[in-house]
Amino acid sequence: MTAAAAGADQGYFPPGRSMLRRVHEQRIVGLLYGQRGLMVGAVDPVVTIGTFMSTSGSAKPFDRLVRTARVFEKTFFGTREAADRELARVHRLHQRTRGELGRPAGPYPAGTRFDALDPEQMLWTLACIADSGQTLYEELVRPLTPSEREALWQDYRRWGELFQLDRSHTPGTYAEFRAWFDARIASDEVYLTEEAREIGHIVGLEIPGHPLDRPGLEALNLLVIGSLPSRVRKLYRLRWTPAHAAAYRAAARAHRAARPLVPKGVRRGSCEPQFARVARAEKRWGRAQGERAAAAAAAAAARI
């Protein structure tokens, strides 16, 4: 690629023009949307067990979370050339992730097929990311206007296309997406297996870190838990009292109010330094979480 061509390559979501980029470049969104999306996504047992199949031997769940987050950042912020390299690798992995449930999982009988390239299953994964990005932005940054919500959803549809999810398989408008997603969360189709509950809790709420980091990490956990759909909180059996709800509302308000005082270079940009810190912390402090996650993943894989 020539220097001129490289300069013209602003990626699939150019700065100043993409609502998706505007949302995900907020560092608080970049830090939390993956954890929240994973916890919400786990209530689809077919998609979740299929994911376990491809990672059942991993004793480093946070390394996997970090690698996924890095791929997503390449597609959000990187050049098309860099994004395409990552997308090709992901597609090769997805081509190998298919099979069927060996045992029932809630409403899904044994023999139910899972396939990482199945449009309905891909839509669920996309939807959990889209819902998490939007929710965290609106809760912790500012509310979006109806036109901004529509633009954001159309960007997410474009993002799904990069992973080979055709637009014809996604809701055409934000209103259609929101109605579909909320109805699915409320439906009998969602079910959280014991293994998914364990792994979702570990990866979503037990990010490893130095003991001195624990107060900050617990504050971030409050933001993740408070932003979850109430039914998802109940499926995880998370304690949520009026005091918790009040603390969450206060923390969200404080974050929104403090943003103008924080330099743009701190509140916006890639989360790569934070990803690297988590990866290092897992090696030192995350052994117990990794062993628990690996055991739960192995138990889930045994259902296949």
Summary mean pLDDT of the chain: 90
In a domain, 74, yes or no: yes
Least confident of 128-137, 149-158, 186-195: 186-195
d(CA 74, CA 82): 7
Task: Please report whether residue 258 resides in a domain.
Answer: yes
Confidence (pLDDT) at 300: 66
* Domain-located, residue 270: yes
pLDDT by residue (tens digit) across 206-225? 898 888 888 899 999 999 99
- pLDDT band of residue 57 (cuts 50, 70, 90) is very low
Residue 212 forms part of a structural domain? yes
Average pLDDT over residues 251-258: 96
Give pLDDT, residue 1.
44
Mean pLDDT of 74-103: 93
Q: Say if CB 19 and CB 148 are below 8 A apart.
A: yes
pLDDT value at 96 more than 90:
no
Asked if the structure places residue 2 within a domain, the reply is no
Q: Report if residue 4 sits inside a domain.
A: no
In a domain, 5, yes or no: no
Q: Is residue 39 pLDDT above 90, yes or no?
A: yes
The count of structural domains within the chain is 1
Percentage, residues of the chain above pLDDT 70 = 92
- In this predicted model, what pLDDT tens digit does every residue of 282-293 receive, in sequence order? 888 777 777 777
List CB contacts of 113: < 8 A, sequence separation 6 or more. 46, 98, 99, 100
Show the domain range for 207.
10-301
pLDDT at 69 over 80: yes
Looking from the CA of 57 toward its CB, the CA atoms found within 13 Å total: 1
Q: Flag whether 252 is in a domain.
A: yes
Q: Say if residues 153 and 130 touch (Cβ distance below 8 Å).
A: yes
- pLDDT at position 42 is 94
